Amino acid sequence: MAGAGAHQRGQILSAISTHATMLVRTRFAPSPTGFLHVGGARTALFNWLFARQQGGQFILRIEDTDQVRSTEQSAAGILQDLRWLGLDWDAGPVVGQGKNEYFQSMRLELYRQHLQELIRQGRAYEAYETPEQLAAMRAEAEKQKRPFRYRRQMAGRAAPGAAQPVLRFEMPWQDLHFKDLILGDIRVAGDEHDDIVIRKSDGFPTYHFAVVVDDHAMGITHVLRAQEHLMNTPKHLALYATFGWPAPQHGHLPLVFNLDGSKMSKRDRTKAARAALQAYARQEQDALFEKLARRAALSPATIRAFMARQNDDAALASKLAACIGCELPEIDVQDFRRSGYLAEALVNFLALLGWSPGGNREILSRREMIEAFSLEQIGRTSGRFDRKKLHWMNGEYIRASSIEQLGAAVDRFNEVTDYPLQHADADTRRQLLAMYQPRMATLVELARNSVFFFQEPVYDAAAVAQHVLQEPGPVVLREIETRLKAVPRWDRENLAPVLEHILALGQKRGAAAQTLRVVVSGGAVSPPLLETLLLLGRDKTLGRIARHLAAIRREPPVPAHGSDLS
RNA sequence: GCCCCCAUCGUCUAGUGGCCUAGGACAUCAGAUUCUCAGUCUGAAUACACCGGUUCGAAUCCGGUUGGGGGUACCA
């Protein structure tokens, strides 16, 4: 509990007026230090939904005050991801046009002026400790089992030295209270605060300072942000109070975690890739990293370094994982896009992670979400990201889409992936979409499963052994060949009865279909044969059959193991 | 350690003192349909963390315990 100002608890900040009559303005303010994380996307979405629901505005601002980690490239990536998600902003950076005033690095003069203002008021002061000195002070405090708080009045502050000083804000000693839009009353005792750094030694403002200046300058009325910012809020409110500005209302969103409760971090991907590589190495033994290196066009040393955790390159992880056919957990928005999720489905899923429209509704259009959205219905408990539910939901969206809509989604998908699908002509693509719509949950499933239409299949040895080489496979296949060769015209009318006949071959209805399916598609799973043969065409179909029959002639008996026709 | 927040099926949640012997969705399991897969349909199993209060009555209100999370940076 607080000392000095305990009796004043709640007085100062709760007295600040709200913006009840003003136009609602929310914002999303990512720092461009990487790709857009799904957690960030959800924060953006909630701000967007609230603004749209209230008939207000949604602002985008890039918080690039960390000179070391911020890059323009990642800012561009974030903009692209937001656009893909369909979260349009009413003010903010313009895609593809460098920096403007919605980048904090372009607003340094504004911060400088306000810093001056605080100095004039005597509320900001220079501090001369080096990071090392501060670390030592914290360590000492911990040793004495007392919390460390940097305050202007404390003993042992460093005298001016060689190092560039930082500017700190003198926090008031009063207990602070505010009403969180989601969590309700939050109280923090006066002696819990540090005098936060507001200008770093490189002259840039810190987040704490820039966020307050900008939210005020941009007329933000409601700040919805992740719960990790909860303890920052009193500091920000103290700044508003000092400037005499009305503060926006704050709401803190519960965090999102992996299913196992761990943080969703980009390093989940490199970790998963490493684990898969390790398992792969165990199973195939010897010099396969060399083999892998050749396949991925990398040096074996790079792979070794990756395995030894000497680098944590996400792109490298993706590449290696692709080489050994391993799926990495999606973390960033673009990961989901590359995995073939539809923006609409991801948005719907994200909306339901922490918000509920009430009742039993699950699938909501954007319009319905906007109409139903309310802060009261946002939960307070952290959520876990269940990819299986997303997967299901994506399937729902795919099945509810028209072929045209799916075509458009495939276009967006093709922009960030590289599958044979992208070479399909319009008509082929239509047919593929119609064929796969009921049996895919993501576009990646379409892209991967339809490869055999574009190139010779990679045959599944076990399937070939079971359905083609093993009797009655060879006999059946010969019969199939004869029948198909006799088809006068390769169209639905002529093919359908032949297929009926094939289904009836052998003792078990449908067994022969598997023989044909494997020969034609490479594996035991494909879309219905009629559609498959129609799209594949006569030449490819008969060609693949002929090649298998030739192989059987070369190796007549049929023990267990596979063929290598690919 | 200290400060703050949170707590309903495995997961996301409905629930705002009686409508709750707790509803939905995903996942799981079983069955049906079927040329494979998927889809679809039917059914099953599974939760109010614990202990005390308040109340005629508590998942819902209060206190504590336990558990989880966040913060404690010249990162945001």
Taking only the tens place, the pLDDT of each residue in A326-340 is: 889 999 999 999 999
pLDDT tens digits, one per residue of A129-166: 999 999 999 999 988 888 899 999 998 899 998 889 99
Asked whether residue A166's C-beta has any atom of DNA/RNA strand B within 7 A, the reply is yes
Range with the lowest mean pLDDT among A3-7, A55-59, A105-109, A306-310? A3-7
Task: Please tell me the predicted confidence (pLDDT) of residue A286.
Answer: 53
- Residue A560 DSSP class: S
Strands A57-60 vs A25-28: parallel, antiparallel or unpaired: parallel
- Percent of chain A's residues with pLDDT above 70: 93
A147 touches strand B (CB under 7 A): yes
User: For A140, left (φ over 0), alpha (ψ -120 to 50), or beta?
Assistant: alpha
* Strand B footprint nucleotides (protein C-beta < 7 Å): 1-8, 10-16, 23-27, 35-40, 68-76
Instruction: State the average pLDDT over residues A370-376.
Output: 96
Tokens of A83: 């656009």
Through-space separation of residue A363 CA and nucleotide B73 C1' in angstroms: 42
Q: What is the pLDDT of residues A173-231, one digit of tens each?
A: 999 999 999 999 999 999 999 999 999 999 999 999 999 999 999 999 999 999 999 99
Amino acid at A174: Q
- Residue recorded with tokens 């239509």: A430
Q: Is the CB of A358 under 7 A from strand B?
A: yes
Taking residues A233-249, report their average pLDDT.
Answer: 97
Q: What is the DSSP string of A174-225?
A: B-EEEEETTTEEEEE-GGG----EEE-TTSPBPHHHHHHHHHHHTT--EEEE
User: For strand B, which residues in window 450-489 of chain A come within 7 Å by CB?
Assistant: none
Q: How far is the CA of A382 from the C1' of B54 (A)?
A: 30
Q: Per residue in A276-312, pLDDT tens?
A: 888 877 766 556 778 888 888 888 888 888 988 888 8
Cis peptide before A246 (omega within 30 of 0): no
Q: How far is the CA of A295 from the C1' of B53 (A)?
A: 69
Residue A300, Cα to own-chain centre: how many angstroms?
A: 30
Q: pLDDT tens-digit profile of A60-98?
A: 999 999 999 999 999 999 999 999 999 999 999 998 888
| CB A496 within 7 Å, strand B | no
Active-site residue (options: A99, A200, A266, A319): A266
- For residue A346, the Cα-to-chain-centroid distance in whole angstroms is 9
- Answer yes or no: is A507 CB < 7 A from strand B: no
Structure confidence at residue A272 as a pLDDT band (50, 70, 90): very high
Closest by Cα among A393, A376, A240, A265 to A328: A265
User: What pLDDT sits at residue A564?
Assistant: 42
Look at residue A88 in the predicted model and tell me its pLDDT. 97
A145: annotated active-site residue: no
| pLDDT above 50: residue A17 | no
| pLDDT in the model for residue A11 | 31
Domain boundaries, chain A: 267-330, 461-554
- Determine the pLDDT at residue A18: 45
**How far is residue A481's CA from residue A520's CA, in Å, rounded to a whole number?**
12
Whole-Å CA distances, A117 to A105, A196, A208: 20, 16, 16
Question: Phi-psi region for residue A522, left (φ > 0), alpha (ψ -120 to 50) or beta?
Answer: left
d(CA A2, CA A85): 46
Task: Round and report the angstrom distance from CA (A377) to C1' (B54).
Answer: 28
Annotate A80-113 with three-state secondary structure: HHHHHHCCCCCECCCCCCCCCCCEHHHCHHHHHH
What burial letters (b/e) apply to A11-46, b meaning 16+ CB within 10 Å? Answer: ebbeebeebeeeebbbbbbbbbebbbbbbbbbbbbb
> Is the predicted pLDDT of residue A5 greater than 90, yes or no?
no
Please determine, for residue A525, whether its predicted confidence score (pLDDT) is greater than 90.
yes
Write down which residues 22-41 in A have CB closer than 7 A to strand B.
Answer: 29-31, 33
| CA dihedral (A360, A366, A371, A374) positive or negative | positive
User: Cβ within 7 Å of strand B: which of A 214-253?
Assistant: 227-232
Task: Report ipTM for this prediction.
Answer: 0.96
Angle at A387 between CA A385 and CA A391, to 5 degrees: 140
A383 touches strand B (CB under 7 A): yes
CA distance linking residue A108 with residue A125, whole number of Å: 19
Per-residue pLDDT for A391 more than 80? yes
Find the Cα–Cα–Cα–Cα dihedral A325, A329, A332, A333, rounded to 10°.
80
DSSP summary character for residue A18: -
Quote the pLDDT of residue A190: 92
Tokens linked to A180:
């969180």
Q: Flag whether pLDDT at A382 surpasses 70.
A: yes
Confidence of residue A416 (pLDDT cuts 50, 70, 90): very high
DSSP string for residues in A456-503: -----HHHHIIIIISTTHHHHHHHHHHHHHT-SS-SHHHHHHHHHHHH
- Written as one letter, the residue type at A209 is F
Residue A391 CB in 7 A reach of strand B: yes
Q: Which of residues 120-139 of A touch strand B (CB under 7 A)?
A: 129-131, 134, 138
Mean pLDDT across A234-240: 97
Grouping H, G, I as helix, E, B as strand and the rest as coil, residue A291 is helix
Q: What is the mean pLDDT of residues A411-425?
A: 96
CA of A404 to C1' of B73 (A): 51
Integer distance in angstroms from CA A188 to C1' B4? 7
Mean local confidence (pLDDT), A465-489:
91
State whether the beta carbon of A374 lies below 7 angstroms from any atom of strand B.
no
Residue A356 pLDDT: 96
Domain A461-554, CATH: 1.10.10.350
Q: Which nucleotide is nearest to A164 (CA to C1')?
A: B74
Over chain A, what is the mean pLDDT? Answer: 90
> Residue A15 pLDDT more than 60?
no
